Amino acid sequence: MVFGGIQKLTLLDFPHTVSCILFTKGCNFRCPFCHNTPLVVPSETENLTEAEILSFLKKRQGILDGVCITGGEPLIHPNLPDFIRKVKDLGYKVKLDTNGSFPLRLSHLIDEGLLDYVAMDVKNSFSKYPLTAGCDSIKLDDIEKSIALLLKGNIPYEFRTTVTSELHTEEDIAEICSLIKGADKYFIQNFVDSGDILKGGLHPMAQSEIEKMAYIAQNIVPNTKIR
């Protein structure tokens, strides 16, 4: 495994777990609002080797409890399971962030007991998925399979949607919630322009609109919160 960065401490990303964040490079989506552009497209960002990451984790044993693996899209890397096994052998819990486009790989990680928490991005209503993910070749069946896998409840999870004023409506949120009905947790998070966005011209939602979306979502997925 080769990584594009590390955040050495987070108290927010992995519920109830003091963690670090590892950023994998590469993604099969091109979401226009992506704030991790250097990880998604070829760039000159510094690489961190697996050996460097594992050395860091060994030094942090007893200080950190968990590792969040995000991207990019971590599941594009076929050697991810082997890396996670090494992390688990060091005694860490593992959280995975995913776009849900690799349900079989996700299922294998869960079945093998390699994950302790999954956060899946649900980009938009299915009619807008290719536009929102910046990818015409999306297999919506795979997104549905990943949603169904998490809804089984074999592992703690959350669904989340980043919303922009140009790409998302209240109707879209209602459709998303119909797809994840019965979910334990759903988060609506407003777009933030980090200054390194994949595509310009997007804007955050007004707070009043976010609150309307959350109200609509709560009628379908009661444990919906604004993040």
Return d(Cα 129, Cα 61) in angstroms, integer: 40
What pLDDT is attached to residue 188?
98
What pLDDT is attached to residue 196?
73
CB-count burial class (<10 Å; 0-12, 13-18, 19+) for 44: exposed
Return d(Cα 12, Cα 128) in angstroms, integer: 30
Q: Which of 54, 53, 56 is nearest to 89 (CA)?
A: 54
Total count of residues recorded for the chain: 227
Q: Which domains does the chain have, with CATH numbers?
A: 2-226 (3.20.20.70)
Q: Identify whether the C-beta of residue 63 lies closer than 8 Å to the C-beta of residue 11.
A: no
Output the tens digit of pLDDT for each of the chain's 227 residues: 889 999 999 999 999 999 999 999 999 999 999 887 778 776 666 789 999 999 999 999 999 999 999 998 999 999 999 999 999 999 999 999 999 999 999 999 999 999 999 999 999 999 999 999 999 989 999 999 999 999 998 899 999 999 999 999 999 999 999 999 999 999 999 998 877 777 778 999 999 999 999 999 999 999 999 99
CB atoms within 10 A of CB 23: 21
Those residues whose C-beta lies under 8 Å from the C-beta of residue 211, and which sit 6 or more positions away, are: 226
Helix axes 80-89 and 103-111, enclosed angle (nearest 10)? 30
What pLDDT is attached to residue 199?
76
CB-count burial class (<10 Å; 0-12, 13-18, 19+) for 8: exposed
What pLDDT is attached to residue 44?
61
Token look-up 């998604």 returns 40
